[in-house]
Amino acid sequence: MHIHILGICGTFMGGVAALAREAGHRVTGCDAGVYPPMSDQLRALGIDLIEGYGVDQIALKPDLFVIGNVVSRGNPLMEAILDAGLPYTSGPQWLSEHVLQGRHVLAVAGTHGKTTTTSMLAWILEAAGLQPGFLVGGVPENFGVSARLGGVSAPSAAGPSQGASAPSGGSDVPAGPSVGAPFVIEADEYDTAFFDKRSKFVHYRPRTAVLNNLEFDHADIFADLAAIETQFHHLVRTVPASGRLVVNAREEALERVLTRGCWSDVARFGVRGDVPGFRARGEPHAFDVLKAGVLVGRVEWALLGEHNQMNALAAIAAAEHVGVAPQVACEALARFGNVKRRMEVKGEVRGITVYDDFAHHPTAIRTTVDGLRRKVGPDARILAVFEPRSNTMKLGTMKALLPWSLEDADLAFCHSGGLGWDAHEALVEMGERAIVADTIEAIVAKVVKVAKPGDHVLCMSNGGFGGIHAKLLAALG
């Protein structure tokens, strides 16, 4: 089959393209911006890319056009497809029909931590010899790629990869029924396409679904938190009775979702007191894992923050559903290399360390800063450099939470370019700790003016941030 993908350079659609190519399909694609690193990755796979959405691409005569959710009515190529009555579908729908069918799908949903938890879960299954397929909205360092098909049939316990432990755990491990090789997918609640306004994740039909957390986000498509809860319940409805829901026990919004109806086994994590489920005992970098109060494993790793500790519990509980014992999962997490752009050290100059992190929602910013604070201690200075770039943040929906999210930073530098609201006003309660500038160059100059040896400069954005990391390192040097 020849498929032509519109919006191919997005993280998700680029992953779909890679999976289609690996499955033997001819893949071409286009996007408004064809640029590295995604363009290099796709071309290395033999995928031809076209800049822009010219109507002349109709002449490629693919068997099917696959439409990314970046494409809207008025797009010239899309209008030509509609006028000609040519076959088209969405990325999630194509994935469901051509990759996920017959697989044991493990879907990771939530406002925060989807990419990291998906990567953890894929690595646990890989270390256990299950040869999972996966599609991640980032690049897990353990794999070096964001998507792969994995095994096409369920592997036997006798066939783990070299150096891995076979799936095991005894009769108390409630593994789901064998329905094909596992496929781990980051399950986004954002809408599917301009012609399908359901959340992407309703297409995946998982047997194991992680509900990691739930807060208001995506203000451009959801009116309020209740609207997102409805979409999450649509996901819950697709999980079979033999399936498992892995649910954050600390989230009231998720409990409201479950009260609407639940037909599957529920494994809770982050529990407190005598509540059955998985919980951690110890610091985020070294902790025991307990299930129903019984020690089942220990994790010691380089990751920071309580949010990653919670992500680990979710991944352990999900892996158990396909037969991987918690102890085996904990041993795998000790070798987990994180995901690029998750507290990634970009360099050090004159004793000043520069980090890159994907955090953009206020809660994610707060947990990221908290994680770094736990690492560097109370006396080191953290200079938080961020841009409110997501659609929700650009709308100013959560601007009032920014002082709270930056509470543990010594100084905060906000890139205000392109905002429709006053960043100075939003950060006024931080006083002189908050610095605002409307260009990357001005932000760099302000950071360089105050930075000193021993400082930690934490850059946070869900975009490229104008290459600020390299510019900071060059200017600091």
336-387 residue pLDDT tens: 987 766 778 889 999 999 999 877 778 888 888 888 888 888 899 999 998 8
Position 237 pLDDT exceeds 70: yes
Query: By the 8 A CB rule, do 192 and 199 touch?
Result: yes
- By DSSP bridging, strand 208-211 and strand 104-109 are parallel
Q: How far is CA 135 from CA 12, 146, 158, 204, in A?
A: 8, 6, 25, 12
- Rounded-to-integer distance, Cα 366 and Cα 117, Å: 18
pLDDT band for 466, please (50, 70, 90 cuts).
confident
Position 330 pLDDT exceeds 50: yes
pTM score > 0.85 for this model? no
What lies within 8 Å, CB to CB, of 97 at 6+ separation is none
413-425: b (≥16 Cβ within 10 Å) or e: bbbbeebeeebee
Residue written as token pair 């985020």: 284
Look at the chain and count its residues. Answer: 477
Q: Which residues pair with 411 in a beta bridge?
A: 383
pLDDT band for 156, please (50, 70, 90 cuts).
low
Residues 300-321, mean pLDDT to the nearest whole number? 93
What is the homologous superfamily of the domain 344-476 according to CATH? Answer: Mur ligase, C-terminal domain (3.90.190.20)
- Rounded-to-integer distance, Cα 453 and Cα 402, Å: 27
Which DSSP helix (H) or strand (E) runs through 362? helix 362-376
Domain ranges in the chain?
2-90, 102-333, 344-476
Nearest of 124, 125, 87, 123 to residue 103 by alpha carbon: 125
DSSP, collapsed to helix, strand or coil, labels residue 276 as coil
- Rounded-to-integer distance, Cα 228 and Cα 214, Å: 8
What is the homologous superfamily of the domain 2-90 according to CATH? Answer: NAD(P)-binding Rossmann-like Domain (3.40.50.720)
- Rounded-to-integer distance, Cα 136 and Cα 134, Å: 6
Position 82 pLDDT exceeds 80: yes
Strand ranges across the sheet with 133-135:
147-148, 133-135, 182-186, 104-109, 208-211, 244-248, 265-269, 278-283, 286-291, 294-300
What lies within 8 Å, CB to CB, of 51 at 6+ separation is 30, 31, 32, 33, 34
Residues 109-117, mean pLDDT to the nearest whole number? 90
pLDDT of residue 161: 35
What lies within 8 Å, CB to CB, of 390 at 6+ separation is 217, 360, 361, 462
Q: State which amino acid sits at residue 470.
A: A
Position 127 pLDDT exceeds 80: yes
Q: For residue 165, report the phi and psi dihedrals to the nearest 5 degrees.
A: -95, 140
What lies within 8 Å, CB to CB, of 296 at 6+ separation is 289, 290, 325, 326, 327, 330
Nearest of 471, 436, 461 to residue 386 by alpha carbon: 461
Position 162 pLDDT exceeds 60: no
- pLDDT tens track for 47-62: 999 999 999 999 999 9
Q: Residue 188, Cα to own-chain centre: how many angstroms?
A: 8
Position 168 pLDDT exceeds 60: no
Q: Which residues pair with 441 in a beta bridge?
A: none
Query: By the 8 A CB rule, do 340 and 354 touch?
Result: no
The neighbour count for residue 148, using CB atoms within 10 Å, is 18
> Looking at per-residue confidence, does 296 or 346 come out higher?
296
- Rounded-to-integer distance, Cα 369 and Cα 89, Å: 40
Q: State which amino acid sits at residue 393.
A: M
The mean predicted confidence, pLDDT, of the chain is: 88
> Looking at per-residue confidence, does 89 or 165 come out higher?
89
Residues 454-472, mean pLDDT to the nearest whole number? 87
pLDDT band for 461, please (50, 70, 90 cuts).
confident
pLDDT of residue 210: 98
Helices 252-259 and 225-238, packing angle to 10 deg: 50
Domain range 102-333, CATH class: alpha beta
pLDDT of residue 218: 65
- Rounded-to-integer distance, Cα 477 and Cα 473, Å: 6
Tokens for 47, please give them: 């995928």
- Rounded-to-integer distance, Cα 50 and Cα 37, Å: 15
Nearest of 437, 377, 380, 427 to residue 405 by alpha carbon: 427
- Rounded-to-integer distance, Cα 301 and Cα 182, Å: 25
